Amino acid sequence: MIRSVHTIYIDRPVPEVFRYLSDHENRMAWQTNLVSHEGEHLAKGTKVKEVRNVLGRKIEIEGEITELEEGSRLSFAGSGPHVTRLEYHYRLRPEDHGTRMDTEVDLELADHLGLAIPVIQRLTDREVDNAQQTLKDLLEQHQVREIAKTLPKHAHHK
């Protein structure tokens, strides 16, 4: 099993961070290995299908939002042909006029990928850290968010 745990401080209030985090359309902006996703407004029980780029390959995962507590928690659980189980959990709490965000990812790969576990562990750690840093940058730089709104959407969002 692969487990990745990361924490970051974001200099924005918890409600603002949660609002951005729970807006399904924002995921493509801060999760760089996310190629596409389907799902409606996030709520507990919402079905989500995502496609991620892992080692240059398309990895499909279908699941649902298992937990959504306004302003504090968001969790997803899913699986796919190459992923026996994927769970990610975001927890937010106020800290020093900003937000402390904890991210946990638990990943079980299909048996035939067992030899790749050390590589996937390092990639997962790097991806989660990069996603948190990108989220922090986007939320702390109001001007960047405004500019991003003016750019065209990806074809699958039209």
Name all domains of the chain by residue range, CATH numbers in brackets: 2-157 (3.30.530.20)
Residue type, 37: H
Asked if 45 contacts 64 with a C-beta cutoff of 8 angstroms, the reply is yes
Q: Judge whether residue 158 has pLDDT over 60.
A: no
Give the per-residue pLDDT at 141: 87
Q: Please write the tens of the pLDDT for every residue from 140-156.
A: 986 566 677 788 877 66
pLDDT band at 37 (very low <50, low <70, confident <90, very high): confident
57: number of Cβ within 10 Å: 8
Which pTM value belongs to this model? 0.83
User: What integer pLDDT is reported at residue 54 of this predicted model?
Assistant: 81
pLDDT at position 157 is 55
Mean pLDDT to the nearest integer, 39-57? 86
Interatomic CA distance for residues 93 and 102, integer angstroms: 9
pLDDT of residue 112: 64
Determine which of 45-49, 84-88, 133-137, 149-153 has the lowest per-residue pLDDT on average.
149-153
Please measure the distance between the N-terminal and C-terminal CA atoms of the chain and give it in whole angstroms: 37
Residue 24's pLDDT band, with cuts at 50, 70 and 90, is confident
Q: For the purposes of burial, counting CB atoms within 10 Å of the CB of 83, is it exposed (0-12), middle (13-18) or buried (19 or more)? A: buried
Residue (of 81, 52, 49, 80) closest to 65 by Cα position:
49
How high is the pLDDT of residue 144? 65
Q: What are the φ and ψ backbone dihedral angles of 88, each rounded to 5 degrees?
A: -135, 145
pLDDT digits (tens, 9 = 90+) for 59-103: 899 999 999 999 999 999 999 988 899 999 999 999 999 999 999
- Say which residue the tokens 């240059």 belong to: 56
